[in-house]
Amino acid sequence: MASTILQLSKLISDATAVITDSCAGAGTAVPELDAPFDPAQEAWRQRPGVQLAVDQAISAAHQLIATLQPAPLSVLRMGGSYHITATRVAFESNVATIIKELGGNGVHVDAIAVKAKVDPKKLVRVLRFLASQHVFREIEPDVFANNRISSCFDIGKPFSELVSNPVTKYEGTSGITALFGHMMDEMSKSGAYAWEALSDPKTAFSEEPEDAPLSRAFGTHITFWDWMEEPEQVNRLARFGVAMRAWQNTLPADAMLHGFNWLSLTENDLIVDVAGGIGNAVLPIARANPAVRVIIQDRPAVIDDGIKYWNEEYPEALDSGRVKLEIRDLFAAQPIKNASVFLLRRILHDWSDKYVRKILTTLREAAAPSTKLLIIDSIMHYVCADPTLSKAGVVPGWASARRPDAPPPLLPNWGTVGIGTYGSDLHMMILHNSQERTLTHLSTLLESTGWRMVRVYPDQTNLMSQVEAVPI
């Protein structure tokens, strides 16, 4: 049996051979890291077998580094917050946009610093740290250019516009940079207080959203949602609104239509999108199924935005009364008793179990015998092999919600490749004192509130898996 490092390096070389052969067959190539990111150059990822090979190479490369790097050094590197420090300075000072506007082939740090209004002696150190991690290039001493990763720091608007109005800075963008900004600001600052929140007996076992690390970081004791609506958070609220579209923008426009058979619903059916935000989950459903009726419920300020959104996107649906937006608190009694479907997309992960039980109970009390509950959240998976796959026979789709285990010696869950869900889980803990959940966990919550999980519609991205439940 080859040593582990030889097995890992073989997994890497096998995977890179698959990638290069596949690309060569199509007359394309993996773009160089030195060039700015270009979505048109990403088609190679769609070639048969390539995504699996990419995952194998990345997972194995990370495991190889973890194996070869001296463990005390790994620990120290985990401890430093240098990455976030350098990344945030470079991002907030718009360095990528400045380089692009001053001449993409390389700009002296002094020229960058004048525009960014920061000390060049400090900025150069930040950029050098990042360039050593393949973010920006230092092509001559003190001269920096963008590369594939740093070019994604560019919000995509002229520098003058970015600095003139922080509220509208992200408007009209895909949301990726807005999410990036949100993560490095309120999320990271709050995360720095996670240990204080988890170790203080007053908050350690709390399920209250006000006891999340966010409250310690910003000296509040209110929920994330209430905090965001305070007048001083106007820039953050605007950014968060755009950020929430980021993950959706990475998916095909009709992603919602894969799973539950939304097209089978008729004019006698009613979808209630509970805490539906501006209603962008149900918009593709309402477009694809011109008969079904829809009610979107959320907080007052969000409903106002939602009405604007539908007036821009699909005014006929509002005008005919087929789609309605209504103010409703998530925890108040559900007034609609004849819903065909209650939809909860990216809602339960915002709340601890105590509150999820309340949400599910409220909906159960309002459900008719034929009502279906559709839950969309990321599904958490164990790192080890999944012992619950025997449920597969009972709940169709349960087993395929988890991708097949990675080849040994990789971690069964593919390690770093699938880390997004675990990151999102911590994100929820930090901001809301809440979490992502495994299917077992969700199933238990459903059963304790009078619902039974009947089907899982898996999604390869793990962002849009739909879980269907019915009243017991």
Ligand X SMILES: C[S@@+](CC[C@H](N)C(=O)[O-])C[C@H]1O[C@@H](n2cnc3c(N)ncnc32)[C@H](O)[C@@H]1O
Binding site for ligand X (CB under 6 A): 225, 244, 275-277, 280-281, 298-299, 302, 329-330, 345-347, 350
Nearer to ligand X, 257 or 392 (CB): 257
Position 53, amino acid: A
Angle at 228 between CA 429 and CA 301, to 5 degrees: 120
Please give the distance of CA 198 from its chain centroid, rounded to a whole number: 24
Strand, helix or coil for residue 229:
coil
Task: Measure the CA–CA gap between 168 and 73, rounded to whole angstroms.
Answer: 42
Shortest gap between Cβ of 374 and ligand X (angstroms)? 11
Among 280, 274, 273, 336, smallest CA distance to 308 is for: 280
- Distance from C-alpha of 79 to C-alpha of 389, rounded to nearest angstrom: 36
Nearer residue to ligand X within complex by CB, 116 or 256 = 256
CB nearer to ligand X: pick between 143 and 178:
178
Contacts of 399 (CB under 8 A, 6+ apart): 389, 391, 392
Q: Are 46 and 56 in contact (CB under 8 A)?
A: no
Closest separation between CB of residue 141 and ligand X, Å?
A: 46
Q: Is the separation of the CB atoms in 454 and 375 below 8 Å?
A: no
CB of 255 closer than 8 Å to CB of 464: yes
What is the residue type of 155? Answer: I
Euclidean distance between the first and final Cα of the chain, in Å?
52
Q: How far is the CB of 225 from ligand X (least distance, A)?
A: 4
Q: Based on DSSP, count helices (H) and strands (E) in the chain, helices before strands.
A: 21, 10
Which residue has the closest beta carbon to ligand X?
A: 277
Separation between Cα atoms, residue 80 and residue 86, nearest integer Å? 11
Structure tokens at 233: 């958070």
Return the closest-CA partner of residue 241 out of 304, 331, 162, 332. Answer: 304
Of the pair 151, 248, the CB lying nearest ligand X is at: 248
Distance from C-alpha of 131 to C-alpha of 144, rounded to nearest angstrom: 9
Closest separation between CB of residue 152 and ligand X, Å? Answer: 23
Annotated active-site residue 349? The verdict is yes
Q: For residues 262 and 289, what is the distance between their CA atoms, to the nearest angstrom? A: 7
Catalytic-role residue among 349, 381, 427, 432: 349
Taking the complex as a whole, how short is the minimal distance between the CB of residue 91 and ligand X, in angstroms? 23
137-140 β-sheet, strand order: 107-108, 143-145, 137-140
Of the pair 113, 178, the CB lying nearest ligand X is at 178
Q: Which residues are within 8 A (CB) of 312 and not within 5 positions of it... i.e. 6 or more apart? A: none
Angle at 449 between CA 446 and CA 455, to 5 degrees: 25
Q: Is the preceding omega at residue 369 within 30 degrees of 0, hence cis?
A: no
Are the C-beta atoms of residues 189 and 430 closer than 8 Å to each other?
Answer: no
**Amino acid at residue number 387:** P
Residue 217 vs 278, nearer CB to ligand X: 278
Least separation in angstroms between residue 460's CB and ligand X is: 19
Of 101 and 305, the one with the shorter C-beta distance to ligand X is 305
Pick 135 or 343: Cβ nearer ligand X: 343
Listed in sequence order, the residues at least 6 apart from 144 whose beta carbon sits closer than 8 Å to its beta carbon are 95, 99, 106, 107, 109, 112, 127, 131, 136, 137, 138
Task: Please state the closest distance from residue 457 (CB atom) to ligand X, in A.
Answer: 16
Smallest distance from ligand X to CB 279, Å: 8
Closer CB to ligand X, residue 128 or residue 299? 299
Measured from the CB of residue 10, what is the shortest distance to ligand X in angstroms?
Answer: 42
Question: Which residues are known catalytic residues?
Answer: 349
